[in-house]
Amino acid sequence: MHTLTFLTIGQAPRPDLSEAIEAHLPATARIRHAGVLDGLSRGEVELRFGATEGRATLLSRLTDGSSVTLDADAVGAGLQSRIDQEEDAGADVVVLLCTGAFPGLRTRRARLVEPDALVTGYVGTVLRGSRVGFVLPLPEQVTEAREKWRAAVPDPAFTTASPYADNDAALLAAACTHLEAGADALMLDCMGYGARHRRSLRAAGITVPVLTPGALVGAALGPLLS
């Protein structure tokens, strides 16, 4: 029996992020949810983790449903603290619910699952030679994402659309921009994108492969815990 913690960079629980992964887990898995921003008010979040101009940014959601833009370095430090706490509480698997890169994260004994490395490896292997269109939550993330994907995909192209928008019009427009440029596949590069977004694109007539991080992480993690 495995004790698994889903660790979000926002506030927990985030079943919208974890459901695609949970679908692949054995029924015996004991699941916990934790977040870097748990217990903090919006004011405290903005003071301690708020985005800083010119620095890498991340997008997440608070328990009241509102979205928040965060400083990636501050989040990385907060993640390490929460990982330590979850290990102390008995977690033997910690799954980050974020596709951002956090160099230096470590565990003492638990397995740490970092979607960033898993997803880039999958795309770089399975879609090698394909024209992949990437959709990101924020325009400020494009420069960092270009560096992230350069080694995996030739000439990566990016558009942006928040996964937390009230409707999927911006996501559809972002996807169509890639298709008009000749994309063979779409990668929605944020854990906030899930099955709902993929269904929305399919309903709009998009037929190329649409990859979401949660589905890829679940397919990879499930066999390890069964």
Q: State percent of the chain over pLDDT 90.
A: 92
- Summarised one tens digit per residue, pLDDT across range 176-193 is 999 999 999 999 999 999
pLDDT, averaged across the chain: 95
pLDDT at 5: 98
DSSP 182: T
What percent of the residues of the chain are helix, what percent strand, and what percent coil, each to the nearest 5?
Answer: 40, 20, 40
Which pLDDT band, with edges at 50, 70 and 90, does 226 fall under? confident
pLDDT at 202: 98
3-state secondary structure of 14: coil
195-203 helix and 169-180 helix, angle to the nearest 10 degrees = 60
Average pLDDT over residues 41-49: 96
Residue 225: is its pLDDT beyond 90? no
Instruction: Name 58's bridge partners.
Output: 70
pTM (predicted TM-score): 0.92
pLDDT at 151: 85
pLDDT at 155: 85
Residue 220: is its pLDDT beyond 90? yes
pLDDT at 224: 86
| Domains delineated in the chain | 3-114+216-225 (3.40.50), 117-213 (3.40.50.2300)
> Are the beta carbons of 34 and 80 closer than 8 angstroms?
no
- Summarised one tens digit per residue, pLDDT across range 144-178 is 999 999 888 888 999 999 999 999 999 999 999 99
DSSP β-ladder status, 57-61 and 67-71: antiparallel
- Summarised one tens digit per residue, pLDDT across range 77-122 is 999 999 999 999 999 999 999 999 999 999 999 999 999 999 999 9
